[in-house]
Amino acid sequence: MAQVESQPRNSHSDSESSAVQKNRKQRRRGRARPQAVMETCDVGRHSNVTPSSLPMAVKTHTWITFWFLFTAPIIFWDASYCFMRPRSMECFESLVQGGDLHWIWAPYSIYQRVDFVYGIPALERGDGFTNAQSLLNVIETLMNLAYVYTAHVADWSPAPLIGFAAITMTLSKTVLYGLQEYYCNYCSVGHNSLRDLIQFWIIPNGFWILVPTLVLIQMSKDLAADLHLAQKARVKVASGKSS
């Protein structure tokens, strides 16, 4: 009988031991899980990564992207005309050589008469402003395309800084172009009639001031909003309120 009674006791003891081990495992799991969650969620306290340093989605605007893409071939065409002078120019009696590639830039036969920066006078006196501003145009356009790629393809958070810098260059250079004419007493465009001046010089250049100004305002607002959001996140982390 003693042997018969001892068997249930051993069976009961084994079940108790299994239950204890199971409870211990559950407690260990229970302790480990909150710790893992805490290490994952409480980013600001337990790591160098803060919510403000995490990648943010790039905010884009269709009309800005369209402007950058639409103007790129125009700028490259304009710059290539300047760099290829005199071969890109329409032949005049005063133009001893060149003109063999003018068919590529045929519309410039009008503009080189309107704006002497693009015409024979600037070429004859060796004016470097024409090619200098064209080189800046190329750099700006490459930056515009870099913004489009990094914002729409790479989804790179600092992309708006590239676009902001590029559009600032475009606007400031166009304003400089107009101021240069003002301070030289309209030395390159003063020979035009008022109608030609408005149609071929004021309207085109005014368009290149208006649109970049609107782009600059929009990008400034977006950057300011991102900086404000990042500052709020830093304040929350510093005060221990971030989760």
The pLDDT value recorded for residue 21 is 62
Which residue type occupies 242? S
CA distance 117 to 15: 98
Residue 240 is predicted with a pLDDT of 76
Per DSSP, the three-state class of 25 is helix
Q: Is 240 left (phi over 0), alpha (psi -120 to 50) or beta?
A: left
In this predicted structure, what is the pLDDT of residue 62?
A: 96
pLDDT for the residue numbered 34: 47
Instruction: Tell me what pLDDT residue 237 has.
Output: 83
Output the pLDDT for position 195.
97
Integer Cα distance of 176 and 164 in angstroms: 18
**C-alpha–C-alpha distance, residues 219 and 169, integer Å:** 14
Report d(CA 115, CA 20) in Å as an integer. 93
The C-alpha R_g of the chain, in whole angstroms, comes to: 35
pLDDT at 203: 97
CB 211 within 8 A of CB 67: yes
pLDDT, position 95: 59
DSSP string, 63-79: HHHHHHHHHHHHHHHHH
pLDDT averaged per 10 residues in sequence order, the chain, 243 residues: 47 54 57 45 47 67 97 98 94 70 94 95 93 97 98 94 97 96 96 96 96 98 91 82 54
Are the C-beta atoms of residues 134 and 77 closer than 8 Å to each other?
Answer: no
Q: Where are the domains of the chain?
A: 62-236
In the block, residue with structure tokens 């290490």 = 39
Q: What single DSSP character describes residue 58?
A: P
Which string of b and e fits 177-213 if b means at least 16 CB within 10 Å?
A: bbeebeeeeeebbeebeeeebeebbeeebeebeebbe
Selection from 70, 65, 131, 120 nearest residue 95 by Cα: 120
Assess contact for 137 and 79: CB atoms under 8 A: yes
| 19: Cα separation from own chain's centroid | 62
Say if residues 73 and 62 touch (Cβ distance below 8 Å): no
pLDDT at 2: 44
Place of tokens 């992309």: 159
